[in-house]
Copies of this chain bind each other. A is one copy, B any other.
Amino acid sequence: MTNSIDTPSRYRMPTVFGPSPGPRQGPNGERFDLSDTPRTIASISFLTDEAELRKLLPPNCELDGEPIVTVEHVTLTELEWLAGRGYSLLSVSYPVRYRGASESVRGSFMPVLWENRCEPILTGREELGFSKLYCELPEPRILQGTRLHTAVWEGHEFIRMAFSDLVVGAPPNSPESDGILHHRYIPSLRQVGESAVDEMVLSPQVSSAKPRYTSFVSGIGEVKFIRSTWEELPTMFHIVNALESLPVLSPRFSYIAEVRGATDLSEQRVLG
């Protein structure tokens, strides 16, 4: 396990077999080109209760503007780092302002996201600080103009997103944002409850990876988190139930978009 000084390699466990191929490092150490990678985004936003949402803030963050929660189901295909395979994810986020010792940024905080494949969960948690968890994300069901996305774990459905009355439209201007914030946390083995890593990190906006919309429709979106028991979701019930406690005060923008172009997220950085 040696890295040349010129080309430091990325490692993850296991280490003894050499550098770890992943989204930001090909089998020969190369980067991947994501400038034309397609994805489908199904997004629902809603206004919630400010006091309730404030309970779900990470260190050094406060809510920024209206308490609007955005839930997105994203389908990724043609991923070069997976030799052409794809996967899906479902994320939750809301706008925050971070004020640290040396800098202040505004963006979306992503407290949790689910993915239906273990490999990007491991690389995303350990290399990026994304709070990724596993669940099944079945193909959307499309019936008479209604489109239904669900999240399921072991026969238990715990999130349901329904879209209807979709009409072709133009993507809105993105709000000004420095990027997406995450709370990166790795426990220490030296003392229960202590951390080895505890830091706020940022996935910055990358102008070169600005998504190009190839299709855009907007309409009515409804998202429902389903209150769940420990028996149903033994490692996730508290997360789903906290999200279920956020009232939907009024719907906001909902859309489904086909997009091309992404970043490999190698710009991910620790906030100061």
A interface, CB within 8 angstroms of B: 1, 3, 8-18, 20-22, 27, 55-59, 77-78, 80-86, 111-112, 118-119, 121-122, 125-134, 136, 138-144, 146, 148, 150, 152, 154-157, 183-187, 189-197, 199, 201, 230-232, 234-235, 237-239, 242, 266, 268-270
Contacts and interface: CB of A to CB of B under 8 A. Distances in A.
A150 to B, nearest CB: 6
Contact of A143 (B80, B146, B185, B189): B80
Given A10-B187, A21-B235, A193-B8, A80 B144 contact: yes
Contact of A81 (B129, B185, B234, B268): B234
A205 B239 CA distance: 34
Contact of A13 (B9, B136, B184, B196): B184
Contacts of A185: 11-13, 15
A77 B139 contact: yes
A152 to B, nearest CB: 4
Given A11-B187, A235-B22, A83 B141 contact: yes
A122 B119 contact: no
Given A16-B111, A20-B235, A142-B78, A230 B193 contact: no
Nearest to A125: B13
A222 to B, nearest CB: 15
Given A27-B238, A83-B143, A85-B234, 20 more contacts: A8-B191, A8-B193, A14-B133, A15-B183, A16-B55, A16-B57, A17-B112, A21-B234, A21-B238, A27-B230, A78-B142, A80-B144, A82-B234, A83-B230, A84-B142, A119-B134, A121-B122, A127-B189, A152-B155, A184-B189
Contacts of A20: 235
A189 B83 contact: no
Contact of A189 (B17, B128, B131): B128
A127 B191 CA distance: 11
Contacts of A183: 13-16
A178 to B, nearest CB: 16
A126 B193 contact: no
Contacts of A190: 270
5 contacts: A9-B192, A17-B112, A22-B235, A82-B234, A122-B133
Nearest to A56: B16
A139 B82 CA distance: 13
Which 3 interchain pairs have the tightest Cβ spacing? A8-B193, A84-B143, A84-B141
